[in-house]
Amino acid sequence: MTASKSSRARSARAQAAARSGTAAAGRASRGGTAVKQPTGAKSATATKTSPAVRTAANGAARTSGPVQAPAVTTPAAPDGLLGKMRAGLASVFSAGESPVPLWLRLTTFLVALAGLGVSIYLTIAHFTEATLAGCNETGGLVNCTKVTTSPQSYVFGIPVAVLGLAFYVFVVAIMSPWAWRVTRREVNLLRIAAMIAGVGFVLYLLYAELFIIGSICLYCTSVHVLTFILFVLTVFAAATWGIGSRRFSS
What one-character-per-residue DSSP string does 172-224 give?
HHHTSHHHHTB-BHHHHHHHHHHHHHHHHHHHHHHHIIIIII--B-HHHHHHH
How large is the average pLDDT for residues 154-162?
A: 95
pLDDT in the model for residue 225: 97
Q: What is the pLDDT of residue 39?
A: 45
| pLDDT tens profile 180-197 | 998 889 999 999 999 999
**d(Cα 135, Cα 121) in Å, to the nearest integer?**
14
C-alpha 250/C-alpha 248 separation (Å) is: 6
Q: Using an 8 Å Cβ cutoff, are 232 and 169 in contact? A: no
| pTM confidence score | 0.60
Give 56-86 pLDDT, tens digit per residue. 445 544 545 455 555 555 454 455 777 766 6
Specify the DSSP class assigned to residue 231.
H
CA distance 9 to 126: 149
- Whole-number pLDDT of residue 1: 46
Query: What is the crossing angle of helices 102-128 and 160-174, to 10°?
Result: 160
Residue-level pLDDT at 133: 86
Beta bridge partners of 154: 159
